[in-house]
């Protein structure tokens, strides 16, 4: 959808809301409260100068908490020392494992069990699951605006006797994730955010490691936001969604334009139209190039290049309100990206199309104005190709 049409829809809905005031439509849930909170996220930190640069960026945000998306110290210092350094800049950090935190080769790079002990779950809100590996929580407590679901697909936990976290369709971990998403919808929580370390759709060094089953589940359920690390750069996707015809599911090594519900070129998305993926492997390691020739590159709307002015490290910050999710990068280079997801009803309504009959005075002296409003999620979107922003290759890094 072009920016003009999208703005017209938003303006129409706003006008209807102002005119009808307290009129309630069956099946539509309004904002629960005026609460707003902020969180930040990044992965792939290490223990060196890039780590310090990212922590400095994080300390300048107004975040209530931060999520460390795995690959934490890379063995540069002990788990305790790494957590102490993090907390020296920003105290309220939550962790999820990456492949460098599980005891896999190269060895002695850290144990998620020790990271979880020294960077413990620090929120007042109830946590369900196993912290550091697979858990969720609703935030803020009492009347939550978002459910955060953190998972560990395709990680082999040598520190736990070699257990492999498999999220293939029908497995217990797949079902756990599905139920956590559905539970948030049933509870009427406005936003669902899923975070993990590894990728499926990315335009860097990594293939689809988490498996298409899990990624397609997230798209099928239209979770609002997917946040990952692993690939050492920042990239934001177009809005992605499954549909009966043009996109039955993301396929390995293939770009399917029909999976794009909004191209994101104007930095504005509509909630319920699909999922937005953010890759934030910007926590401290050298920034890697975005590969515009990768089959998955067409799924992305914005990305960080590797020109000297763009290679900054840092975090991505998310402001969460009942009716809007606003996102911006905090990187120490010249690259910036901002976008918003405008909120909408998540509850299924028996009335997909409805009429609002209003008495209008002034220009419409006939006395009655009729406004036809179609559910935003049904508006078709036209995908566009991304602009190229590639840069030269950076130095080799441990992934």
Residue-wise pLDDT for 16-45, tens only, equals 343 333 333 333 333 334 489 999 999 999
In whole angstroms, what is the distance from residue 96 CA to residue 135 CA? 9
Averaged confidence pLDDT in the chain: 84
Break the chain into its structural domains and give their ranges: 1-28+352-384, 31-346
Residue-wise pLDDT for 327-355, tens only, equals 999 999 989 999 999 997 543 323 223 32
Is the separation of the CB atoms in 288 and 313 below 8 Å?
A: no
Q: Which CATH class is domain 31-346?
A: alpha beta
Angle between helices 49-59 and 79-89 (to 10 degrees): 40
Question: pTM for the full model?
Answer: 0.81
Residue for token pair 């990680």? 155
pLDDT at 101 over 60: yes
Phi, then psi, of 335 in degrees rounded to 5: -75, 135
């Amino acid at each position: 959808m072009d920016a003009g049409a999208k703005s017209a829809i938003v303006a129409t809905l706003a006008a209807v809301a102002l005119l009808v005031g307290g009129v309630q439509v069956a099946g539509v849930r309004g904002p629960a409260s005026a609460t707003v909170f902020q969180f930040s996220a990044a992965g792939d930190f290490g223990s060196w100068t890039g780590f310090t640069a990212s922590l400095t960026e994080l300390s300048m945000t107004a975040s209530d908490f931060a999520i460390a998306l795995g690959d934490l110290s890379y063995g540069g210092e002990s788990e305790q020392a790494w957590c102490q350094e993090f907390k020296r800049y920003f105290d309220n950090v939550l962790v999820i494992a990456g492949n460098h935190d599980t005891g896999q080769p190269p060895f002695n790079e850290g144990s998620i069990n020790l990271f979880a002990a020294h960077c413990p779950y620090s929120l007042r809100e109830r946590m369900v699951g196993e912290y550091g590996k697979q858990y969720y929580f609703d935030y803020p407590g009492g009347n939550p605006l978002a459910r955060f679901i953190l998972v560990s697909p395709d990680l082999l936990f040598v520190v736990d006797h070699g257990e492999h976290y498999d999220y293939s369709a029908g497995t217990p971990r797949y079902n756990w994730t599905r139920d956590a998403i559905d539970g948030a919808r049933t509870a009427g929580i406005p936003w669902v955010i899923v975070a993990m370390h590894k990728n499926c759709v990315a335009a860097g060094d990594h293939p689809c490691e988490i498996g298409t089953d899990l990624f397609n589940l997230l798209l099928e359920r239209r979770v609002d936001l997917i946040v990952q690390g692993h690939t050492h750069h920042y990239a934001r996707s177009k809005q992605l969604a499954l549909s009966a015809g043009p996109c039955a599911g993301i396929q390995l090594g293939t770009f399917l334009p029909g999976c794009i519900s909004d191209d994101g070129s104007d930095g504005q998305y509509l909630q319920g139209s699909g999922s937005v993926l953010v890759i934030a492997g910007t926590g401290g390691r050298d920034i890697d190039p975005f590969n515009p020739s990768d089959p998955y590159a067409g799924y992305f709307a914005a990305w960080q290049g590797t020109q000297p002015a763009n290679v900054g490290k840092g975090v991505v910050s998310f402001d969460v309100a009942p009716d809007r999710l606003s996102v911006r990068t905090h990187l120490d280079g010249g690259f910036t990206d901002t976008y918003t997801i405008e909120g909408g009803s998540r509850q299924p309504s028996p009335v997909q199309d409805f009429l609002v009959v209003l008495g209008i005075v002034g220009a419409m002296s006939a006395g009655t104005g009729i406004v036809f409003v179609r559910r935003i999620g049904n508006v078709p979107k036209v995908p566009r190709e991304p602009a190229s922003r590639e840069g030269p290759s950076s130095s080799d890094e441990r992934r």
